[in-house]
Structure 1
């Protein structure tokens, strides 16, 4: 899979999970177990996005 395609896919999934978190938070009694699971998924995706962004960016030479 192309790096840019994978990155876009991960970013879309990250945004989807963010919406799920917002929806759950809007409930009078949010499911804390579900919230925790969603937040872990979101963090995992964010880590993968960051890793892919680092790999796709040209290396910056230190002076």
Structure 2
């Protein structure tokens, strides 16, 4: 997998988690811990995306 395709996949997953968090906020009875876990996953992806984007090209 090339770096750019890996980056695109990470961005797709990040966007998917963004939608999941929004849905969870709107859904009645969703546990706050579930939302927190989704947000942690989203943050990890964002950090990885940022790390990849700021790496110097070889």
TM-score normalised over the length of structure 2: 0.89
Mark the CA change 1:56 to 1:11 in structure 2 (over 3 Å): closer, same or farther. farther
Q: Which has the larger radius of gyration?
A: 1
Provide structure 1 residue ranges, at least 5 long, that are not aligned to the other structure: 59-63
Provide structure 2 residue ranges, at least 5 long, that are not aligned to the other structure: none
Q: Which runs of 4+ in 1 moved over 2 A?
A: none
Secondary structure at 2:48 match in 1: helix
**Which residue number corresponds to residue 61 of structure 1?**
none
TM-score normalised over the length of structure 1: 0.82
**Which residue number corresponds to residue 19 of structure 2?**
19
Kindly tell me the number of residue pairs found equivalent between the two proteins: 58
**Which residue number corresponds to residue 55 of structure 1?**
55
RMSD: 1.7
Q: CA deviation at 1:46?
A: 0.2
Deviation digits for residues 3-38 of structure 1 (CA, Å, limit 9, x no counterpart): 100000000000000000000001233320100100
